[in-house]
Homo-oligomer: A and B are copies of this chain.
Amino acid sequence: MDFSSKLLENAVYEMSQLPGIGKRTALRLVLHLLKQPEERTNLLSEALTDLRAKVNFCKSCHNISDTEICEICSNHKRDKSLVCVVEDIRDVMAIESTSQYNGLYHVLGGKISPMEGIGPQDLSIVSLVNRVKEGEVKELIFALSSTMEGDTTNFYIYKQLEGLDVTTSTIARGIAVGDELEYADEVTLGRSILNRIPFENSIKAS
């Protein structure tokens, strides 16, 4: 693209560095900002720099937080014997929005992936093991993605916990509520038969 302004070119370049934003979209976004009052751009810029400069992660669970210990960890009504292990902050939000979980979290910051050069030392696994060693945690719930990397990470953590007094579980995999059997993939359907649950439990859940 042929820009008549260096300032515009620069803004479009920086915007197009965001994931999923190409040059054309970046240009559309930047031109939109130009049409809006100057305040809009300043609010956006400030919000981003502010977040980046002052961002804080909970010392206990590594969730994003404005305080040293996040709201979830410091909530006395939460069950501190239950810890749900997730990949990133978005998973915490997803589970919180179900209102079905009353325990704490542990955000790993990713999953073990040799292809992307992410090893166990890049994730907050040591601090998870330490949390378990402190003794208050009775059950870990693995809620990582159901992929090769997710399974590897689950297994790695499981091995690290050997000899410690903690139960481990993974979230149930199966046919999504509302889905029709004929369209489900074979692996999911197979697993959902193997890991069937007593009918009484399914009545209680709904």
Contacts and interface: CB of A to CB of B under 8 A. Distances in A.
Interface of A: 1-8, 10-11, 13-15, 17-21, 25, 27-34, 38, 40-56, 58, 63-66, 70-72, 88-90, 92-93, 96-97
A96 B2 contact: yes
Nearest to A12: B47
Most chain B CB within a 10 A radius of its CB, from A13, A33, A46, A96: A33
A29 B46 CA distance: 15
10 smallest beta-carbon distances between A and B, as pairs: A45-B45, A41-B52, A14-B47, A11-B51, A14-B44, A11-B47, A7-B51, A5-B64, A45-B49, A10-B47
B66 A6 contact: yes
Contacts of A10: 47, 50-51
Contacts of A19: 28-29, 32
A92 B51 contact: no
Contact of A53 (B2, B38, B65): B38
Nearest to A71: B4
Give this chain's copy count: 2
A4 B52 contact: no
Given A11-B48, A19-B32, A29-B18, A4 B55 contact: no
A51 B90 CA distance: 32
Nearest to A38: B52
Contact of A48 (B41, B51, B96): B41
Contacts of A1: 93, 97
Contact of A15 (B27, B38, B44, B97): B44
A46 B52 CA distance: 14
Nearest to A13: B47
Contacts of A45: 44-46, 48-49
Contact of A93 (B2, B13, B51, B96): B2
